[in-house]
Amino acid sequence: MEKATFAAGCFWGVEATFRQMPGVISTRVGYTGGKTENPTYKEVCTDRTGHAEAVEVEFDPAKVRYADLLKVFWENHDPTQVNRQGPDWGSQYRSAIFFHSPEQQAQAQAAKESLEKAHRYSKPIATQIVPAVTFYPAEDYHQQYLERRGLASCHISS
């Protein structure tokens, strides 16, 4: 099994989207990329922790490629937005790929460059591609939030 970590706005919709993919073993939402240890949702919402709302995806590379996860990431949010997605704003809603290996870094960078060269978006891509750091799981009530409420999604497709 391998891990992938993505931030693409509100983590509820991002998690629900990845959970639907064959080959994804598990997901968990949480906070990463900031300076505060063991942050709470309330702290992250102050925009002072430096953390992004993110989804950690455990996947079977024999059943789903990292490139496929990247494709879903790019297609299910607006990567040109800086510190926001739809009505949600703040650095916790930034677009970021937290890579776990040099191979993931290379694939993420190549995918970003390919989208930029193809002029897929009318504005520059703002997505950060940075090393994965400590991932702090969000509170239990955030885990599989939409699924437990019978909702399909809340994300904004590009």
Please give the positions annotated as active site.
10
Full 3-state SS string of the chain:
CEEEEEEECCHHHHHHHHHCCCCEEEEEEEEECCCCCCCCHHHHCCCCCCCEEEEEEEECCCCCCHHHHHHHHHHCCCCCCCCEECCEECHHHCEEEEECCHHHHHHHHHHHHHHHHCCCCCCCCCCEEEECCCCEECCHHHCCHHHHCCCCCCCCCC
